[in-house]
Amino acid sequence: MSITTGGAGPGAPPAPTGHAPQADDLRMTRYSDVCGGTDELKRLLVEEPGLAASAAGRATLRSLLDDGMYMLARMEGRLREYQGFCATLERLAQEMRRIEEPRLQDAGAQAEDLRALLDAQPQHGATLSETTVREIIDRAEGIRQVANDMEGALRRHKEAAIEAGRAYLRLRGARGWDDGVATLGGGGALAPQDGPGSESLPPAGPPRAGAGEVARTALPPGVPEAWLPPPPHREVIVDWLRRGRAVILSTEEAARFPVGPQGREPLVQFEDGGVMPLRVVRWSTEVKNFYPLGATPHPRGPLYRRHDGTRPGAS
């Protein structure tokens, strides 16, 4: 595990890590997604063609490459979580299909026979024979057994459904997904019993605000206000956290990383894999991307979104 800061420009290349970026490295990426770093890599190659001739320049280019690979590694980890969730659902579905169907037709037949027995008895004065009483009781017990079987089947289905719900909540974590859980009144009532991040899974956030819009509602659960960046960056990152496009890493996951220069602090991961300490998150209205404090992105980067290497405006 290593602590690496993504490149902040030709004059401040990061120290080489000596290995390909891993998902459990603590790396502050220069952008919140791979596109931002790729745009900047292309811009540097086209607009500063001599950059690769120096060691510092090559380190800057490598840092953008490493940022992209790191974000892919982080996204791969999330993909594996989704695949694990899929496997859990498949297992639960198979278990539910194996639950034996209660014999409802048998209960219906017993009930019909019971009605016939009762209707066949004398209407006035006569008591039921011991044989008839025993037959009625036996048929009533047959219906009761089907009811017991039904209760057991429902219980096993419910247990599987609850396990699926807990698996979903573990997958969602603290992300502010618009999944309707909060509107049901139960919030995070289906608290997972185990698994990563299960110690605190808040409900989905309130209705979303537009990017950059000042949030007038309370902060999403689990967002430490004291560590938020100043306005206007604060409003944008809070909105992304509320909409589930970014998430504060759980205490358990953050504890796996080395302590940073500010001590143990909240880390935010974006949906495209970028990771930054929450306090340094900044938003660029020009490139429509997050970046860490001190690494302001070049405004011409988005002009290189084309897949070829041509200069902006080239035909």
Same domain, 65 and 139: no
Evaluate if residue 1 carries a pLDDT over 70.
Answer: no
Tens digits of residue pLDDT in 106-116:
999 999 988 98
Same domain, 83 and 139: no
Same domain, 27 and 94: yes
Tens digits of residue pLDDT in 78-126:
999 999 999 999 999 999 999 999 999 999 999 998 898 888 877 776 7
> From residue 13, how far is each of 7, 43, 278 by CA, in Å?
5, 17, 22
Q: Which of 147, 170, 193 is the C-terminal boundary of a domain?
A: 170
- Helices 130-172 and 104-119: angle between axes, nearest 10 degrees: 150
Q: Considering the domain boundaries, does residue 309 fall inside one?
A: no
Quote the number of domains for the chain.
2
Q: Considering the domain boundaries, does residue 250 fall inside one?
A: yes
Per-residue pLDDT, averaged over 41-63, amounts to: 93
3-class DSSP assignment, residue 291: strand
- pLDDT at position 298 is 93
Same domain, 142 and 276: no
Please, is 253 exposed, middle or buried when counting C-beta atoms within 10 Å of its C-beta (0-12, 13-18, 19+)? middle
Same domain, 47 and 190: yes
Print the domain residue range for 127.
104-170
Question: With a threshold of 0.85, does the pTM exceed it?
Answer: no
Out of 12-16, 189-193, 301-305, 307-311, give the one with best mean pLDDT: 301-305
Q: Considering the domain boundaries, does residue 162 fall inside one?
A: yes
Same domain, 178 and 236: yes
Same domain, 165 and 177: no
The answer to whether 40 and 301 have CB atoms below 8 angstroms apart is yes
Same domain, 232 and 262: yes
Same domain, 112 and 196: no
Cα 275 to Cα 268: distance, rounded to the nearest angstrom: 6
Evaluate if residue 14 carries a pLDDT over 60.
Answer: no
CA 258-260-262 angle, 5° bins = 145
Tens digits of residue pLDDT in 217-264:
578 888 999 999 999 999 999 999 999 999 998 888 888 777 777 788
Cα 249 to Cα 174: distance, rounded to the nearest angstrom: 8
Q: Which of 170, 185, 204 is the C-terminal boundary of a domain?
A: 170
Element of type H or E holding 281: strand 281-284
Q: Considering the domain boundaries, does residue 295 fall inside one?
A: yes
Same domain, 119 and 202: no
Tell which residue, 182, 183, 267, 155, has the closest CA to residue 222: 267
Same domain, 144 and 215: no
Q: Considering the domain boundaries, does residue 203 fall inside one?
A: yes
